[in-house]
Structure 1
Amino acid sequence: MSRVLGVIGGMGPAATVAFLQRVQALTPAGGDADHIRVVMDLNPQVPDRNTRPGEAEAVLGEMASGLKTAGAQVLAMPCNTAHAQGAGIRAAGLPFIDMIAATADAAVDATIGGGARRIGVLATPGGEALYQAALAERGAEAVLLAGEDRAAFMAAVYGVKRGDRGPEARAEMRRLARALAAAGAEALIAGCTEVPLLLAAGDVDLPLTDSAEVLARACVEACLEGAASSVG
């Protein structure tokens, strides 16, 4: 029997729902009973992870403990930025899949032959810091948006949270991805779970590692096989 997956969600709601769809789609199943049991706390009231990190960590820790009580055996959180508050989640005493580490591994290996060394990161300021550190540990360099493009990225992310996933928003995210390519990126990371709601792999010329897709695969592996290298 597969392990029960606990999902710390709501940051934001649309990204969490899309993540759950990925978990379902990636699970090899011949019927209902073959799918992974999921318990989820979709909490859009988690304090802002960029501006109120201490308060966010306390709430995330409470959510993790609640999921453990509800029967979760392994935890995952489809929010890159909030991984900076991972200590509060790990305090619940369950394995926690590290989305940042798993995505950084995948991105470094994304180019033909592997070994990308300059990787563009589409992420919030908090997410940028996490990926800078993770990529540096792997001998790679994060290429980041600069100037007005950083503000434009955050506007696009908050637009998704308001429900704006239209053509203009998609065009803007494609433009931002091209800006990273022009700055020398050899591969790209969709390092915010709102990004893949606006940007698909076919929209860019560089390899695109989708952090939500990486996390979903890791969840399936962890729950069906009972272990995954990125669980800890």
Structure 2
Amino acid sequence: MRTAPRRIGLLGGITWHSTLEYERLLHEGVAAALPGRSADLAIRHYEWGAIERAQAEGDWDGLAARFGDDARWLVDGGAEAILICANTMHLVADRVQEAAGVPVIHIVDEVAGAARAAGLERVALLGTGFTMRMPFYRERLASHGVEALVPPEPRLTEVHALIYERLARGIVDDAGRALMREATAELLDAGAQGVIAGCTEIPMVMTAADVEVPYLDALALHADAAVRFALSD
């Protein structure tokens, strides 16, 4: 086993709440394997408002260029792999990979692997409106043999609004928890065998303790994969 972890580059601040959780899990994971040590991280932490505006304007090319440039900057600072600390921004992961020249640990691959390990063929996907409406997440899951179900309207818009108008601002309440439980129950009734927390803020209002089916926390699975990479030879 390595005596010191590899450096991981984080593209974070999407939102800051989830990026702090990434950092905690990375540090705890390394410390568990290497007592007395912590994760070695290089971080580009974005101002969330600027990212939110670019997403709302549909400027995915601009975001891809920004994230690619910043990934290269992290690599120049010694990062040996990149984490995009958000589900939605994996829409531009392939372009970040091209720019970085080092592995971009893909969140959907980790979720799909966990789903397959749990024997799941059909799962509920809850995330931002971009993640649920656009095909990039569902198609990558499908390439691993996992079908994703998303809420119909108006539930889909309600989940998106919860994330952007409340969770991204750190507002956590019983109404948000109830909405996530209801959205999950509806998709389970439609045939889902488990649920993906496909937005890094969803664990703020729903955890494994809230459901009776396999719960796939994309953030935690992503962070665990990064720890494995950091400790690999």
2:140 corresponds in structure 1 to 134
Deviations 1:158-207 (CA, angstroms, capped at 9, x unpaired): 11112211222122212211121121100111111111121100101111
Q: Which residue of 1 aligns with 2:21?
A: 18
Of 93, 118, 123, the match for 1:119: 123
SS of the aligned residue for 1:89 comes to: helix
**What is the DSSP-based 3-state SS (H/G/I as helix, E as strand, rest coil) of the residue aligned with 2:103?**
coil
CA distance in 2, matches of 1:37, 1:138: 31
**Range with greater deviation from structure 2 (176-185 or 126-135):** 126-135
For residue 106 of structure 2, what is the aligned residue in structure 1? 98
Q: Contact 1:169/1:198 (CA < 8 Å) preserved in 2?
A: yes
Q: Pick the aligned partner of 1:30 from 35, 44, 51.
A: 35
- Aligned match of 2:160: 154
Distance in 1 of aligned mates of 2:29 and 2:5: 14
2:123 touches 2:148 (CA, 8 Å); kept in 1?
A: yes
CA distance in 1, matches of 2:203, 2:215: 10
Instruction: Give, in whole Å, the separation in 2 of the partners of 1:133 and 1:155.
Output: 24
CA distance in 2, matches of 1:42, 1:204: 32
| Stretches of structure 2 lacking an aligned partner (at least 5 in a row) | none
Q: Distance in 2 between matches of 1:175 and 1:89?
A: 35
2:200 touches 2:219 (CA, 8 Å); kept in 1?
yes
2:199 is the counterpart of 1:192: yes
Gaps spanning 5+ residues in structure 1: where? 227-232
Deviation at 1:105, TM superposition (A): 1.4
Q: Which has the higher helix share?
A: 2
The equivalent of 2:228 in structure 1 is 221
Distance of aligned partners of 1:98 and 1:56 in 2 relative to their CA distance in 1, 3 Å threshold: same
In structure 1, C-alpha distance between the alignment counterparts of 2:57 and 2:140, rounded to whole Å? 18
Displacement over 3 Å in runs of 4+:
none
User: Using the alignment, how far apart are the partners of 2:124 and 2:13 within structure 1?
Assistant: 26
Hey, what's the Cα distance between the residues in 2 that align with 1:49 and 1:79?
Answer: 16
Q: In the superposition, relative to structure 1, how do residues 140 and 87 fare at CA in structure 2: closer, same or farther (>3 Å)?
A: closer
The TM-score with structure 1 as length reference comes to 0.89
Match of 2:213 among 196, 206, 217: 206
Give the CA deviation at 1:134. Answer: 2.0
Structure 1: which amino acid aligns with 2:113? D
Aligned residue pairs, count: 220
Q: Post-superposition shift, 1:49? A: 7.4
TM-score, length-normalised on structure 2? 0.88
Structure 1 residue aligned with 2:71: 64
How much is the aligned-residue C-alpha RMSD, in angstroms?
A: 1.6
Partners of 2:203 and 2:136 in 1: how far apart? Answer: 19
1:50–1:169 CA distance, 2 compared to 1 (3 A): farther
Instruction: Tell me the CA shift for residue 50 of structure 1.
Output: 7.9
Within the alignment, does 1:52 sit opposite 2:59 as a pair?
yes
Decide whether aligned partners of structure 1 residues 15 and 50 sit closer, same or farther in structure 2, where only a CA change above 3 A counts: farther
